[in-house]
Amino acid sequence: MENYNIYTGHNVFKYLSINKNEVDSYMSISGVGYQIDTPGEEYPIKGHPVGYTFDPKRGRIIDDFAIVYITKGQGTFNSVITGEKSIKQGNAFFIFPGQWHTYHPDKKTGWDEYWVTFKGSYFNALFNSIINKKDPIYYVGMNEQVVKLFHEMLICAQSEQIGFQQILSGITLHIFGLFYSINKNRIFETQDTQRIKEACVIMRENIFNKVSSADIASSLNMSYSSFRKLFKQYIGVAPHQYMLQLKIEKIKDLLGSTDLSIQEIANSLNFESADYFSFFFRSKTGVNPLLFRQNIERQSSEANLNIQTE
Query: 140-190 pLDDT, tens per residue?
Result: 999 999 999 999 999 999 888 888 999 999 999 999 999 988 888 776 678
Total number of residues shown for the chain: 310
pLDDT, one tens digit per residue, over 185-211 is 776 678 888 889 899 999 998 998 889
* pLDDT (0 to 100) of residue 191: 82
pLDDT, one tens digit per residue, over 29-75 is 999 999 999 999 999 988 888 888 899 999 999 999 999 999 999 99
* pLDDT (0 to 100) of residue 306: 58
H or E segment to which residue 178 belongs: helix 164-185
* pLDDT (0 to 100) of residue 160: 84
For the segment 7-11, the average pLDDT, to the nearest whole number, is: 59
Report all structural domains of the chain as residue ranges with CATH numbers, in order of start: 6-188 (2.60.120.10), 191-298 (1.10.10.60)
Q: Are 78 and 84 spatial neighbours (Cβ–Cβ below 8 Å)?
A: yes
For the segment 110-135, the average pLDDT, to the nearest whole number, is: 93
DSSP 199-262: HHHHHHHTTTS---HHHHHHHTT--HHHHHHHHHHHHSS-HHHHHHHHHHHHHHHHHHH----H
What is the CA angle 96-98-101, rounded to 5?
A: 65
For the segment 246-264, the average pLDDT, to the nearest whole number, is: 90
* pLDDT (0 to 100) of residue 24: 52
Count of CB atoms within 10 A of residue 163's CB?
A: 10
* pLDDT (0 to 100) of residue 241: 92
Q: What percent of the chain has pLDDT over 70?
A: 91
* pLDDT (0 to 100) of residue 184: 80
* pLDDT (0 to 100) of residue 301: 75
Please state, in angstroms and rounded to a whole number, the distance separating the CA atoms of residues 37 and 117. Answer: 19
Confidence of residue 299 (pLDDT cuts 50, 70, 90): confident
Q: Are 246 and 207 spatial neighbours (Cβ–Cβ below 8 Å)?
A: yes
Per the DSSP assignment, residues forming a β-bridge with 257 are none
- Between residues 7 and 201, the one the model is more confident about: 201
Computed over every residue of the chain, the mean pLDDT equals: 88
The shares of helix, strand and coil residues in the chain, as percent rounded to the nearest 5, are 45, 20, 35
Cα 250 to Cα 29, 95, 134, 151, distances in angstroms: 25, 32, 39, 11
Q: What percent of the chain has pLDDT over 90?
A: 62
Conformation bin of residue 224: beta by default, left when phi > 0, alpha when psi is -120 to 50: alpha
Confidence of residue 23 (pLDDT cuts 50, 70, 90): very low
pTM over 0.85: no
pLDDT, one tens digit per residue, over 259-287 is 899 999 999 998 889 899 999 999 999 99
